[in-house]
Amino acid sequence: MGKSMTDLDLPALEDVLDISAQIIKDTSLDFTRYLLTSLLEAPRLTILKGARGVGKTTLLLQLAKKIQKSKKTVYLSLDHIFFSRHKLYYTITHLHKLGYTFFVLDEVHRYEDWSTEIKNIYDHFPQITLLATSSSALDLGKGMGDLSRRAVVYHLRGLSFREYLTFEHGLNLPVFTFDELIKNHGDIYDTWYKSQNLGKKFQNYLVAGVYPYYRTTGKSYHQQILNTVSRVTDIDLPAIFNIDYSSTRQVKKLLAVMAGITPFTPNISKLARDLEMNRTSVLTYLDYLDSASLIHVLRSGLKSDAALAKPDKVLIENPNLHYALCSGNINTGSHRETYCVYAFKAAHQVSTPARGDLLIDQQYTIEIGGPGKSFHQLANMPNPYLILDTKEKGTKDTIPMWMLGLFY
């Protein structure tokens, strides 16, 4: 008789542990992300969500490297072949008997029935700490185990311009809030911009700097982004939303259409006809793409955030992704707005105003543009500000676009 899922192949598990130890040992701590400190203090069950390619696995391994000094720690990738034959619950039960108390679990959404098993581990082993990564699209409330009441969730974003400056150039700029940018833009410019040639660095970042793997992929960076998009649509979305091959093709078609015309104010009925889908499918797929951190769906603050509510505006998630999807043939205005939404969403609620481009925290009305942009469209709007990509130094009501990269 064959082995049951409760019978562990101990030699195979030993290989998994050896791989884990080596990967953790080889992980560099030279550059760490903004969430590392928070994760070091995280509670017993933490889920780290984020788009593919933003560095979740690296961050987990860095955390494991730091934690293992005080706790017996193991890194387990749940898409490893070992877990096609062995239950996670019984694996962790065995490892706990060996003294392991800190478990770093990668790609949990690739493991069938992951939420129920993690819930059981959490409930049965109060001495164990679990930190897991998942796709941005994962909804903990919809999992069978309903982890939403147990887990603390963090969302890892791509590199900010500030992080890029540290990663690429060794520069360490402070973090600023939007209110601080408004009040202190002059000092920020005087201290950092003039001395460090940040204008050229910012333009480079907009093309290649959001996903940390730009350092290792070189000229193939944008092709790698497209490969990452394919893995999201072909692997992650089917695993999470249980959609078939035909649906993934439609999702890709929808993304391709939007890439060429964002910022996109969608006519859902026309889009459905053009793509040969029904209206509900278009709205559902927009929600999937938004959940997977491939697009931003914006609505008026007066509208519902429900998945099937019509969006007011759709943008590609970040400027590097936009550049890759358009093969570099991007509209300048579209690229500006893509970046600004990406930057603001790190720390603010972003919606669409009655006039202007963006409404931030239901408080600031934003218009985005170049040297010829005026306040004409913002007349009589609350707290109007211009965000200008050609501006190096701000004024009392204009902020240079590069400064939005200092939010984290």
Segments of the chain with pLDDT less than 70:
1-5, 139-145, 262, 303-307
Query: Residue 366 carries which DSSP code?
Result: E
Q: Count other C-beta atoms under 10 Å from residue 37's C-beta.
A: 9
Q: How high is the pLDDT of residue 136?
A: 84
CB 385, CB 397: distance < 8 Å: yes
Q: Which two tokens stand for residue 313?
A: 């505006």
Which residue, among 95, 75, 87, has the nearest Cα to 111 in the 3D structure? 87
Q: What are phi and psi of 220, to 5 degrees?
A: -90, 10
User: 1 by DSSP, 3-state: which?
Assistant: coil
Give the residue among 229, 237, 238 at the shortest CA–CA distance from 211. 229
Residue 144 pLDDT: 47
The rounded distance, in Å, linking the Cα atoms of 230 and 294 is 11
Q: 238-292, pLDDT tens digit by residue? A: 988 989 999 999 999 999 988 887 677 888 999 999 899 999 999 999 999 999 9
E strand or H helix at 336, and its extent? helix 332-344
pLDDT for 361 equals 96
User: What pLDDT score was predicted for residue 2?
Assistant: 52
341's enclosing H/E stretch is helix 332-344
- The Cα–Cα gap between 16 and 26 comes to 15
Cα–Cα dist 325/319, whole Å = 10
Give CA–CA dist 67/71, Å, rounded.
Answer: 6
pLDDT at 277: 93
Phi, psi of 102 (to 5 degrees): -120, 115
Residue type, 273: R
- At 197 the pLDDT is 86
Q: What is the pTM for the complete model shown?
A: 0.92
Domain with CATH 3.40.50.300 in the chain: 10-156
Inter-helix orientation angle 279-291/245-261, to 10°: 80
Q: Are strands 45-50 and 152-156 parallel, antiparallel or unpaired?
A: parallel
Q: Could you report the per-residue pLDDT of 293-309, keeping only the tens digit for each?
A: 999 999 997 766 666 78
The alpha helices in 75-220, defined as continuous H runs, are 88-97, 114-124, 161-169, 178-188, 194-196, 198-207, 214-217
The CATH number fitting domain 10-156, selected from 3.40.50.10950, 3.40.1170.60, 3.20.20.70, 3.40.50.300:
3.40.50.300
**What is the pLDDT at residue 345?**
98
pLDDT on residue 303: 63
Give the other-Cβ count within 10 Å of 282's Cβ: 23
Amino acid at 187: D
User: Which amino acid appears at position 292 of this protein?
Assistant: A
For tokens 């093309």, the residue is 207
Residue 3, judged by CB atoms within 10 A of its CB (0-12, 13-18, 19+), counts as exposed
Contact 136, 155 (CB under 8 A): yes
What is d(CA 119, CA 135) in angstroms, rounded to the nearest whole number? Answer: 18
**Within 10 A of 183 (CB to CB), how many other CB atoms are there?**
13
Give buried/exposed letters for 227-264 (b at 16+ CB in 10 A, else e).
ebbeebbebbbebbbebeeebbebbbebbeebbeebbb
User: pLDDT averaged over the chain?
Assistant: 92
